[in-house]
Amino acid sequence: MIILGAGPAGLVLGNLLRAAGVDCVVLERSTAASVRTRARAGFLAANTVRILDRHGLADGLHRTGRPHSVCEFRTEDGAFRLDYGNLGRRERHTVYPQQELVTDLLARYLDTGGRIRFETEAVAVLDADSTRPSVTVRGPDGRPGRWRGRYVAGCDGRHGAARRSLPPGAVRRHHHDHGISWLGLLAEAPPSLDAVGYAVHGRGFAGHMARTADITRYYLQCPRGTAPDAWSDDRIWAELELRMRGPLHRGAFVQRTVVDLESDVLEPLRYGRLLLAGDAASLLSPSAAKGANLAVLEAEILARALADDLLYGDSEGLDAYSERCLAHIRRAQRFSQWMIRLLHDIPSAPTRRPCLETLRTSRAEQDWFAEQYVGV
């Protein structure tokens, strides 16, 4: 079994397959140090924690992860807070930076004898429609190589070899560009709020998400085409404080990226013996914090299906894999699109202000929000 990518999807899948007695190898184009330190999402849904618990992969997050259950919306009509942990199904998030989760998963995988090849770039997946697919690679020294297996799991992201290797017409692509861009920022500064902050303003959206006691994630809506380094630190902090409507704890920005809000989903998530999971299967905007949570859920579904097929000859799970995952992806996609309309002034869909007012005043709307926000 060949797994492309050492992110949450690939490493959860690798750990679960090894626990089931399935031999596998993970091929990762980055270095080990990069895998352990690349900062991504940090909000784990309750169901994600249950999955990790179920398979003995949650020790780290229980030691240092922090429960979180409050959102604060700052609007032109005033601020309001939702304690979503006491609404809907009364479930919370756990704040645990993705690089720490990946470090935990990688350590468990290696401790149990798992094989991983760092600095090994997958170039193409070949013969996916046969019983013996293979992956051509470029190794650390630049030399070509090839791995063969009974299945290939593409967990290598939207631009990885798994997606690139799909022949024309093999899948349908559902893509939508929302026309909105965010400047994603990681600041060496303590959180300024005890809640996830969503600020809507005439100058654009701003977001505040705690990561650790000393690191905070910010998002700042910017014009399409803005370069990550186009704005000075002082300009960014001034804009954040203006839109957040108050002072913030300042610090150096250690990461800047520009995120174009898009939805990009493939259907089906399987072509022959090539199966897709994580961002290779679907990319949703970060507005609803679903990416890593979907990746873990899909990895568990795929691991069980592969183990049943490889160990017992039962292909029912693999046959149903795509549609099972797509049901969860579609639900997350709908909520992500709702959040985009809630947080942005979109001239073609002017629903932001009435949606915010309903969320402020309606308990039924608050219960629905809580269920969708934490659910996968």
Measured CA to CA, the distance from residue 211 to residue 209 in angstroms comes to 6
Please indicate whether residue 8 is annotated as part of the active site: no
- Report whether 70 contacts 79 (CB < 8 A): no
Set 84, 109, 198, 218: catalytic member: 198
Which residues are paired to 199 by β-bridges?
A: 74, 206
Instruction: Single out the residue of 11, 91, 95 nearest to residue 60, CA to CA.
Output: 95
Set 84, 218, 271, 373: catalytic member: 373
Measured CA to CA, the distance from residue 368 to residue 363 in angstroms comes to 9
Residues near 305 by Cβ (< 8 Å), separated by ≥ 6?
Answer: 317, 318, 320, 321
Please indicate whether residue 247 is annotated as part of the active site: no
Please indicate whether residue 201 is annotated as part of the active site: no
Please indicate whether residue 68 is annotated as part of the active site: yes
Q: Characterize 100-131 residue by residue with b for buried, 16 or more Cβ atoms within 10 angstroms of its Cβ, and e for exposed.
A: bbbbbbbebbeeeebebbbebbbbebbebeee
351: phi then psi, degrees, rounded to nearest 5: -110, 0
Nearest-5° Cα angle at 9, 22 to 165 = 85
Set 93, 208, 290, 344: catalytic member: 290
Set 286, 321, 328, 344: catalytic member: 286
Set 8, 68, 151, 321: catalytic member: 68
Instruction: Single out the residue of 375, 283, 276 nearest to residue 322, CA to CA.
Output: 276
Please indicate whether residue 290 is annotated as part of the active site: yes
Strand 2-4 to strand 25-27: parallel, antiparallel, or no bridges (unpaired)?
Answer: parallel
The residue type found at 366 is: Q
Residues near 258 by Cβ (< 8 Å), separated by ≥ 6?
Answer: 181, 182, 183, 184, 222, 226, 227, 228
Q: Rounded to the nearest 10 degrees, what angle do helices 316-343 and 363-374 cross at?
A: 130
Catalytic residues: 68, 198, 286, 290, 373
